Amino acid sequence: MRIGIPSTLAYYEYFPFWDVFFRELGFDVVSSPITTKAILDWGVKHTVSDACVPIKLIHGHVRALAEEGVDFIFLPRMVSVAPKETFCPKFLGLPDLIQASINNLPPMLSPRIYLRFGRMSLFRICGQTARSLGASRIKGLRACAKALDAWHAFLRSIRQGLTVAEALGLRQRTGTALRGPRLALLGYPYLINDPFISANLLGLLEERGVQVLTAEMVPSEDLKRLSRSMRKNLFWHYSNRVVWAAMYYLDKEMVDGVIHVTAFGCGPDAMVGKLVELEAKGKVPFTTLSLDEHTGQEGIITRIDAFVDMLVRKKVSA
C-alpha cells in the first residue's frame, strides 16, 4: 500500500517523522514531486480565490499525488503542537478545504494533531493511525518511537547550521565561501525551503556569499525564554517562531540584516512582518520579500542584490 505525502506546508517540519513512521509500518511512502510550474498552476486554478500561495500549492501537490495513484493521502490536521498556540486557521480547516475543492480524491488520512499532553498525545495519535491502517497499536507505538529518533536527528542537523532544505536533501551547498554579510532569513519553512516558489532564494544568497540564519536554527530553550518576554504572543506556531527568532538574532547582535520572507496576502504575516520590522528598527536594516504565483527570479535577484549591496556599503563606510 502506498501512502502519499504532499511536499509542502508541514512537510518541511515533519516529513522525516512521518516518512519513517509509515515505512516502519510497512507501507511505501510517496511524496509529491518538489513544486513545479504545473503543480502551482493547477493549484492556482482550483483553490478558493484570495487564498495565499502556500494553500494554492498544497492543492496542486494533493492533486499530483492523486494522479500518482496512491492509496491514501496523508494530510494531518495540524491543530497545535505546543501550549497556547495553534496553527494558522487555514491549516486547521485544510483537510475540509481540500475535500471541498478537489473531486475524486483517494481516501484522505487526516488525524487531528493536537499535542495537548506532549509526547503522550503523539503516541496516542500514532497508535490510532496505525490501527486505522490495519496495523496493530503496538506496532504503531514502536514506529512512533523510531520516527521520533529520525526526527530528532533531523532537528539536530538543522541546529548545526543546515537549512531545512539542506537537511531534507532538497539542495546541496555548492561550497562557495561565505564572506558576505550575515542575514536572518525569517519566514515559514514551506516558503524559504521550496526551491520553486522562493525562486531558489537560498541558492541565490549562497552565490552572493551571504551567511543565512533561519528561525529553525535557534535553540528551542531560547525560544521558550523569548516567548515569556513578550507581553502577548501571537497564536500561530510558525509565526511565533519567526518573531522569537528575530528577537534572538537581534538581541545577540548576530546578524547584519533581516529579510522577512512572506506570501502575498498571508494573514498572520501582516502581524509578523510589522512586529519584526519594529524589532529591527534602529538596529539593523530590514526588508520584506513577498512571494506569490507571479514571482520571478529576476525580481528576487534585484531585491536581494540591492539589499546585500546596501549592507556591504554600510559596513565599508562604518
Number of residues that bind other proteins (CB under 8 A): 40
162 φ, ψ to 5°?
Answer: -85, 150
Rg value, the chain, Cα? 20
What is the crossing angle of helices 137-159 and 11-24, to 10°? 140
Nine-digit cell string for 279: 524589532
Q: How far is the CB of 273 from other proteins (least distance, A)?
A: 6
CA dihedral over 193, 27, 32, 91, signed as positive or negative = negative
Contact with other proteins (CB under 8 A): which of 53, 62, 258, 266?
266
Which residue has cell 483537510? 95
Give the full edge-to-edge strand order of the sheet including 286-291.
Answer: 211-213, 182-187, 257-263, 286-291
By CB under 8 A, tell whether 116 contacts other proteins. no
Residue 30: enclosing H or E segment and its boundaries?
strand 28-31
Contact with other proteins (CB under 8 A): which of 2, 66, 86, 139?
86
By CB under 8 A, tell whether 67 contacts other proteins. no
One DSSP character per residue, 64-119 reads: HHHHHT-SEEE--EEEESSTT-B--HHHHTHHHHHHHH--SPPPEE--EEE-TTTH
Point out which span in 46-54, 118-126, 132-140, 211-219 binds other proteins (CB under 8 A).
Answer: 46-54
By CB under 8 A, tell whether 60 contacts other proteins. no
Nine-digit cell string for 195: 526551491
By CB under 8 A, tell whether 275 contacts other proteins. yes
Q: How far is the CB of 274 from other proteins (least distance, A)?
A: 4
Q: Which is nearer to other proteins, 126 or 263 (CB)?
A: 263
Q: How far is the CB of 162 from other proteins (least distance, A)?
A: 30
Contact with other proteins (CB under 8 A): which of 9, 10, 25, 51?
51
Point out which span in 12-20, 147-155, 196-204, 229-237 binds other proteins (CB under 8 A).
Answer: 229-237
Point out which span in 88-96, 119-127, 138-146, 192-200 binds other proteins (CB under 8 A).
Answer: 88-96
* Residues at the contact surface with other proteins, assessed by CB under 8 A: 47-51, 77, 79, 85-90, 92-93, 95-97, 99-101, 112, 231-232, 234-236, 264-271, 273-275, 278, 281
